Structure 1
Amino acid sequence: MLAPGSALTLEQGWQTTGATGSLHNLKKFNNQDFDRLRALCLSQGLLFEDATFPAHISSIGPNLLSEDKLWQIQWKRPTELQRNPYLVLDGVSRFDIMQGEIGCCWMLAALGSLTQQKQFLENVLPRDQGFQDNYAGIFHFRFWQHGDWVDVVIDDRLPFLNGRYLSVYPRTSNEFWPSLLEKAYAKLRGSYQNLHGGYLSDALVDLTGGVQVQFSLKDPPSDLEEILKAADKSKCLMGCSTSGQLGRNVELRNGIVQGHAYTVTGAVKIRYKKGWKHIIRIWNPWGHGEWKGPWSDDSPQWDHVEPKLREALLRNKNDGEFWMSCENFQEQFSWLYICNSTPTFLDFGDQPCTWSMNKHINLWSPVLATGRNNYSSGAVSRNPQYFFKVPDYDPKTYNVVISLMQKHPEDMQDAKKIGFLITMDNSKVLKQNFCLTRDVTSYFILSPGTYAVVPSTAEDQEFEFLLRIFVRNEDYNENLNFPPNPVLPMDVPRQNEDSSYKAIFLRHAKQGSAIDASQLQQLLNEEILKDEMTSLGGRFSFDSCRGILSLMDINSNGRLTLQEFRSLWQRLTKYMDIFRKEDRNHSGFLDVSEFKSAIQTAGLAANEQLLLLMTLRYGDAARRIGFSDFVCCMLRLETMTYAFQNLAAGGSQVSMTATEHGLSPTAATKPPPSEPLPREESGVPGGQLPVAAMRTTTGLHNMT
């Protein structure tokens, strides 16, 4: 570890070449490259000091505190506060977060939801950093910004006022991911001052790159309960907020805080007395202060819930988290916010579907200013029009979501009034209400046909916008040529998981009818590592997923089709059962003897030399093998065994060495193919039906 007193100040990093903005080729915020900056600091034995976001009142902002308090701010590194600091200690949880002096509940409510969804959390919080190895006082975090993923580099000097954290602080004194992540977000938005009050909907999008929809609870959709259940089931990020009419941060007698943002952490329908009850779990980012009404921790309603279910749901602690009925939720809160990579919160049925997405980035110019009362039809005709086709129609199912986002200037606050028109056959069908939010999102039930979206603004000046159009596709067809996105996950019992492989595949097949190594990595980490047993041994790396894909890719095109994935899924469930059986002490790892027994259970063979080499390659320092490494090893062992059996069956005299048995990086032979999948019938309803419904979200909800 470097000495706390030494530091290296660097003005700029380096810009990567090629197309940027994806998770695999990030944009460098302020042109700073984390790996190169850290390497330079380590080579010189100095701690990083970020000149682009310095330990100075300019990073705090001039209006957050009085001038005398601003000059009292002290900046301290975690190594100065704790002997043994950690970035993450025993996993990431919403209960790690405690709100400090700054009114950033809107951001912390989004962060609390993020901690529940690993598929998004791993995008924001890179694992290649910490205080134990290669510490150089430098960290980085990723955020989605107007269509691109951006890597934000910071030093680890944190602001303190009178010995207390100025902003968010960790519940555990030596765990620092909440404070450092918030500092990176403050840098992205210009200052800590710009976190003092903001929009929960903005934070949800910045942490996911997804599409968000806001629902007014004073005029809720009739299917609100179905939306909540679908959102919870499909692992959406969710939050809610209360009205600020009675003042901000005013706590009512019932425990609900006014002008405040919360995280929605669960939504379930349970047996209650002789019927059913829909209840919602909510978390206060203050870490304390809970609802005192029906379904609160000590309420008598829980006495009428089956004991096992009550034990599974109820956490009777003063940690800021509580349950309440859907009726009380609508009474006490004003807005509900839901966000996911695709609009899975609108997928109410159990039948898998996909959402295709088209993205357009362009500049508004004065000719686009059609959002005023006196705009002319000629102005509309001169605007760019973005076309989309609706293939399916169900009068009870939302099938189109349109999201229009404006790119904010540097201070992230100066929003313009924006909206859009929808036309069909060159005639106006729907007009979007205009609002002053960063993005406007609406969801519709549209009949089959071709439509055009016309982005609009009431401003006579040029600025950039991002338009995303999501279209639901009811019937899955392996030959679709548009890019579907993930679909609604299905909670399937363990014994029925093999039959759900298609739903899982569709959820991650973002590039049509096949998945690449990156999508496979997300799928395995999200679907296979759900429980503690499989996750203890570590996650599937990108390189290991490339290796798995090369083994299962019969067509040798670098992607897995549904049929190829079915073969992989059968093996994954088989190896999971074997791993559970052989992990006798439930440690999440197999020792050498357990690993040997697992190989035999799988019907394979390995001599002592091969067993030693496999545990050295795939095991940890104690020669224990976690589940992700076990899968990689077994797939290669099975593949090579199959290949050599084929050679022997052909009359060849084969002697298989350890290197040939799959421990060489060049060994990659295809596995036996599974039987062909039956092709399902699909059809599109005919006829041009009228627009059936529209939902729009236009509220302003600035929370502190």
Structure 2
Amino acid sequence: MDFDAVTALGSARCSTIPSAKRDRSWASHTLLGHRFGLGKLIAILVCPSQERGTMLAPGSALTLERGWQTARAAESLQNLKKLNNQDFSRLRAQCLSQGLLFEDATFPAQVSSVGPNLLPEDKLRRIQWKRPTELQRNPCLVVDGISRFDIMQGEIGDCWMLAALGSLTLQKQFLENVLPKDQGFQDNYAGIFHFRFWQYGDWVDVVIDDRLPFLNGRYLSVHPRTSNEFWPSLLEKAYAKLRGSYQNLHGGCLSDALVDFTGGVQVQFPLKDPPPDLEEILKAADRSQCLMGCSTSSQLKRNIELRNGIVQGHAYTITGAVKIRYKNGWKHIIRIWNPWGHGEWKGPWSDGSSQWDHVEPKYRETLLRNKDDGEFWMSCENFLEQFSWLYICNSTPVFLNFGDQHCATWSVERHVSLCSPVRVTGRNSYSPGAVSTNMQYFIKVPDYDSKTYNVVISLMRKHAEDQQDAKPLKIGFLITGENSRVLKESFSMARDVTNYFSLSPGTYAIVPAANQEFEFLLRVFMKTQDYNENSNSLPSPVLPMEVPKQNRDSSYKAAFLRYATQGSVIDASQLQQLLNEVILQDEMTSLGGRFSFDSCRGILALMDLNSNGRLTLQEFGTLWRSLTKYMDIFSKEDRNHSGFLDVSELRSAIQTAGLVANEQLVRLMALRYGDGAGRISFSDFICCMLRLETVTHAFQNLAEGESRISMTAMEWLTLVMYT
């Protein structure tokens, strides 16, 4: 239970794989139709947001930002490597044809996979390996979606990995890379599973069997809160295999796990001496859906729980941050989760503390989850006092875009090579001759008028196959200017040395360095200005919610250009970022949760007339006008300002929009898009109304005045298969 931590600001529950328990039979009654009568059949099955709970935004006026997302599943998994050359599909098919359950000879159910030094010898001899089918009559990979609350740490001290995993559950765009959906205990079960992790520039597919280690009848590894749900235990086993053994999970760096789960870039911030703009960095990280986490000091004995409930030498996940009305002012509070699955902060803003008595009931009801589940709130002041390090990770360092009044993107360059020794003796103690003879990577920093950080450099040591046997090595890099003069340097004993800089325009050389030869992956992220070159001025970076109606049609062009690829189209990932950063600026509309990636894919499919997975400016303009219309309707119908609509308010909203739905259909829509209490959040309301509007117009165009329509089987399949 250790050390560095990194995880996520975000929603309370990210349900990425539909529950087997959730009845979807009524969905077959969904009406399908033709979009605008243009002769193109499209799907209208927009997936509602499955991120039930609260996605908390700390501010109400958000700067428009966009980062080049390099970790999209469709792109990053093209060159997928196979650990030990094991092919999941081929091995599963072989087992099914022979009627056998898979047994992994490369990570056997033996002491070698546990590790010889994890436990005393007598305990190692007592370890038993059991399959989920031996433990439960109805085992499932996922039950009712994937959540951090599914995780409870076992005997192994891998809180650093589990804290990163807890953060991963909040960010579906990364989770889908790690946990493939083509597996389970129902169809084609053969005792074999696979998971994916990022290693030194490549995604690696790791195949395992489902035999799990038990000691004295208890899980040695992580155990799920729901007894028949096994995704946490199996994913942990795959990660243990990647690192050589379960023993190699007993202590580690949360920052490493964050990068392994995302392929992104992580930055660490010391909380005992935080940067002056830390609060702005946190806000930007929240807006850009970063993975985040924190850790406590390990100077004292690890895993010691203090009287205030905080564990020393332990990693935690950051799951939310919000500015809340408190008494006569405002208070910034942070939500944190303990991978133990229990053990919470007992100070101000903890569950049941007196501070919550001074918060309006509707906010208290939304924010406070008074359960012994390891999650708690605390003030920013207490956060800085109790924790030592903050970690932030994303595909690109978009969390450093705060204060940037331009439309900024991040590009990345990658280099893999072997570094010759450069003597590391002390700060700025390198002779120009010694530096110039080593391998140098030249970068040209553009003339970018920004007072924020514009360069991030990440140097990762690439270990041998048995990476855990590698000896500790101090590695780092130098940044040199003219005459090979060292301007900046960054060194550490960590696997990944990453730092951020504000460099003036010019040409620089990056020199990887260590006292001995090592293989490395060097990544250089640079911020660049991105806007329409034909324009004499940049669009306004802030788009307030109170934009006058007559000006809204023109404002969508500014938003589109900031997020579009080369100013021409936007994909689902960019649409998700745009909607969450531009549309969800009001704190009340954001209380119901952000737009999920699935929701945005479905929304895009509704407007995508070219069926290419992208929206043009014209298509986005149509979407924008619908969005602003439904924003007004939602604000009007949400009379108690709760951030949700109940069934009666939904019925009224449909009538206000000029659409038709009988009582049965309204109830089905509330069931389809609402939470357990039938309440519909703003993001789900948008998905619901866009689909209803599209279906209505599509039917009218297809029917051409008739009361019924007909179509071929292939037309029907084309309709239902696009989203």
Report the TM-score range of the alignment, normalised by the length of the smaller protein.
0.7 to 0.9
Q: What residue in structure 2 maps to residue 433 of structure 1?
A: 490
Cα displacement string for residues 221-254 of structure 1 (whole angstroms, at most 9, x for unaligned residues): 1122222222223221111111112200011111
Secondary structure at 1:477 match in 2:
coil
SS in 2 for 1:37: helix
Question: Among 415, 430, 434, which residue is 1:379 paired with?
Answer: 434
Q: How far 1:541 moved relative to its partner?
A: 11
Native 8 Å contact 1:364 1:465 kept in 2: no
1:352-380 deviations in whole A, cap 9, x for unaligned? 733322222221332x5254456431232
Aligned counterparts of 1:311 and 1:665: Cα–Cα separation in 2? 43
Q: Which amino acid aligns with 2:432?
A: S
Deviation of 1:331 (Å): 1.1
Q: Distance in 1 between matches of 2:579 and 2:297?
A: 38
Q: Which residue of 2 aligns with 1:443?
A: 500
Q: Structure 1's 179 and 231: CA in aligned 2 closer, same or farther, altered over 3 A?
A: same
Of 462, 476, 483, the match for 1:407: 462
Q: Give the Cα–Cα distance (whole angstroms) in 2 for the partners of residues 271 and 667 of structure 1.
A: 45
Q: Within the alignment, does 1:301 sit opposite 2:355 as a pair?
A: yes
| 1:131-150 paired onto structure 2 within 5 Å | 131-150=185-204
* Residue pair 2:151, 2:225 contacting (<8 A) in 1 also: yes
What's 1:249 paired with?
Answer: 303
Distance (Å, rounded) in 1 between the aligned partners of 2:560 and 2:517: 45
Tell whether 2:511 aligns with 1:458: no
Q: In structure 2, which of residues 145, 151, 154 is the aligned counterpart of residue 91 of structure 1?
A: 145
Matches within 5 A, 1:324-339: 324-339=378-393
> 1:513: Cα distance to partner?
3.5
Indicate the larger mover: 103-112 or 232-241. 232-241
CA distance in 1, matches of 2:174, 2:548: 28
Identity fraction in percent: 64
- Report the Cα offset of residue 125 of structure 1: 1.6
Give the counterpart of 1:272 among 305, 326, 336: 326
C-alpha change, 1:379 and 1:518, in structure 2 (3 Å) is farther
Question: Residues 630-669 of structure 1: matches in 2 within 5 Å?
Answer: 658-659=711-712, 663=716, 665=718
Could you tell me how far 1:435 is from its partner in structure 2? 1.0
Q: What TM-score comes out, normalization by structure 1 length? A: 0.73
Match of 2:216 in 1: 162
Out of 610, 614, 620, which is 1:552 matched to?
610
Gaps of 5+ in 2: 1-73, 536-540, 585-589, 638-644, 661-684
Letter in 2 for 1:188: L
Q: Partners of 2:576 and 2:321 in 1: how far apart?
A: 25
Please list the CA deviations of residues 41-65 of structure 1 after superposition, one character each: whole Å capped at 9, or x if unmatched: 2222222222221211111111111
Task: Tell me the distance in 2 between the aligned counterparts of 1:358 and 1:467.
Answer: 7
Q: Partner amino acid for 1:403? A: S
Which residue matches 1:65?
A: 119
CA contact (8 A) 1:549 1:559 kept: no
SS at match of 1:328: helix
Q: Give me the TM-score of the superposition, normalised by structure 2.
A: 0.71
For residues 353 and 524 of structure 1, the distance between their equivalents in structure 2, rounded to whole angstroms, comes to 13
Amino acid at match of 1:189: R
Q: Quickly say closer, same or farther: Cα 1:25–1:96, change in 2 above 3 A.
A: same
Judged with a 3 Å threshold, the aligned counterparts in structure 2 of structure 1 residues 662 and 424 are, in CA distance, closer, same or farther, namely farther
Aligned-partner SS, 1:392: coil
- Which residue of 1 is the match for residue 63 of structure 2? none
Map of 1:194 onto structure 2: 248
User: What whole-Å deviation, never above 9, does each CA across 1:440-485 have from its counterpart, x for those lacking one?
Assistant: 22222233x1332413222332413232323153x533799xxxxx
Higher normalized contact order (CA 8 Å, seq sep 6+, divided by chain length)? 2
Between stretches 37-46 and 370-379, larger displacement belongs to 370-379
| 2:445 alignment partner AA | K
CA distance in 2, matches of 1:174, 1:309: 34
Matched AA of 2:525:
I
Contact 2:608 2:619 in 1 (8 A): no
Q: Tell me, in whole angstroms, the C-alpha distance in 1 between the residues paired with 2:480 and 2:169.
A: 40
Structure 1 residue 192 displacement after superposition? 0.7
Structure 1 residue 82 and structure 2 residue 136: aligned?
Answer: yes
Structure 1 residues 518 and 74 mapped into 2: Cα distance closer, same or farther (>3 Å)?
A: farther
Deviates more, 1:112-121 or 1:458-467: 458-467
1:116 counterpart (166, 170, 176): 170
- Is the Cα–Cα contact under 8 Å of residues 199 and 260 in structure 2 kept in the other structure? yes
- CA distance change for structure 1 residues 158 and 466 in 2, over 3 Å: closer, same or farther? same
Given that residues 607 and 620 in structure 2 are in contact (C-alpha distance below 8 angstroms), is that contact kept between their aligned partners in structure 1? no
Query: Quick one: which of 267, 273, 290 aligns to 1:236?
Result: 290
Aligned-residue CA RMSD (Å): 4.7
> What is the rounded CA distance, in whole Å, between the counterparts of 1:41 and 1:522 in structure 2?
40
Note the 1:284-683 alignment, pairs <5 A.
284-349=338-403, 353-366=407-420, 369=422, 371-373=424-426, 375-382=430-437, 383-395=439-451, 397-413=452-468, 414=470, 415-425=472-482, 428=485, 430-447=487-504, 449-473=505-529, 475-477=530-532, 512-514=566-568, 519=573, 539=598, 551-552=609-610, 560-568=615-623, 570=625, 658-659=711-712, 663=716, 665=718
| Structure 1: runs of 5 or more not aligned | 1-19, 481-487, 591-596, 604-625, 646-655, 669-704
Give the C-alpha shift of residue 285 in structure 1. 0.8
Distance 1:533 1:278 in 2: 19
- Structure-2 change in CA distance of 1:495 and 1:345 (3 Å): farther
Structure-2 separation of matches of 1:334 and 1:376: 35
Answer yes or no: is the 8 Å Cα contact 2:256–2:495 preserved in 1: yes
The question of whether the paired residues in 2 share the 8 Å contact of 1:225 and 1:326 is answered with no
Cα offset for 1:129?
1.6
Counterpart CA distance in 2 for 1:426 and 1:84 is: 69
* SS state at 2:109 partner: coil
CA separation in 2, counterparts of 1:130 and 1:57?
27
Q: Given residue 609 of structure 2, which amino acid in structure 1 is its aligned partner?
A: L
Across the two proteins, how many residue pairs are aligned to each other? 601
Q: Residue by residue, what CA displacement relative to the aligned partner does 1:654-679 show, whole Å, maximum 9, x if unpaired?
A: xx9634995475999xxxxxxxxxxx
